[in-house]
């Protein structure tokens, strides 16, 4: 990211806090560090960006990524199970085949230099994010439990009544 910030018209926005903050501040003196954000301020901060670079290999699902996708950002992610669950690389995000700074830099650079591509990926990401609404997620969990035999089919009818407010 620091190489991008040196030779391209970008201003990194680092949302949140963590142990890497001093290291990032030393390398990105012109970056915006928001600290911890939640609710509307978080939504505004994410939506004000153009690209999300989330190199985490350990995030189990990718709520940060999904929030960015819902805001219409192009996303750059590592090859990881959470990435595969969220994007199809090249269609609604970009997947880094190797998690190295040079690979991430190349992918982000390609988005900075090609605004039409960046916007197209962001629009596709927004559409993809709609698959992850509460109803869709609850249905997927319930289907899995039913396939495992842990929940009888009748529970689906009960859940739909609760969601509809008829409980």
Closest CA to 41 of 21, 16, 69: 16
| pTM, rounded to two decimals | 0.80
pLDDT at res. 115: 96
Locate 99 and state its tokens.
């998690």
**Top-ranked range on mean pLDDT: pick from 77-81, 94-98, 125-129, 157-161:** 125-129
Q: What are phi and psi of 19, to 5 degrees?
A: -65, -20
Of 77-86, 98-107, 152-161, the one with minimum mean pLDDT is 152-161
Locus of tokens 């009818």:
157
Measured CA to CA, the distance from residue 102 to residue 12 in angstroms comes to 17
Locate 13 and state its tokens.
């926005």
Q: pLDDT band at residue 130, thresholds of 50, 70 and 90?
A: very high
């Amino acid at each position: 990211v620091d190489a991008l910030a040196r030779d391209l018209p970008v201003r990194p926005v680092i949302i949140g806090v963590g142990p890497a903050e001093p290291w990032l501040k030393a390398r990105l003196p012109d970056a915006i560090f928001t600290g911890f954000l939640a609710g509307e301020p978080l939504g505004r901060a994410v939506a004000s960006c153009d690209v999300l670079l989330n190199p985490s290999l350990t995030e189990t699902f990718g709520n940060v990524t999904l929030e960015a996708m819902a805001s219409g950002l192009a996303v750059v992610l590592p090859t990881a199970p959470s990435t595969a669950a969220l994007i199809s690389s090249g269609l609604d995000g970009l997947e880094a085949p190797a998690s190295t700074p040079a690979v991430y830099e190349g992918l982000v650079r390609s988005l900075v230099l090609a605004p039409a591509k960046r916007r197209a990926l962001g629009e596709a990401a927004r559409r993809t994010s709609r698959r992850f609404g509460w109803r869709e997620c609850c249905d997927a969990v319930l289907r899995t439990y039913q396939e495992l035999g842990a929940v009888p089919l009748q529970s689906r009818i009960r859940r739909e009544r609760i969601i509809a407010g008829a409980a």
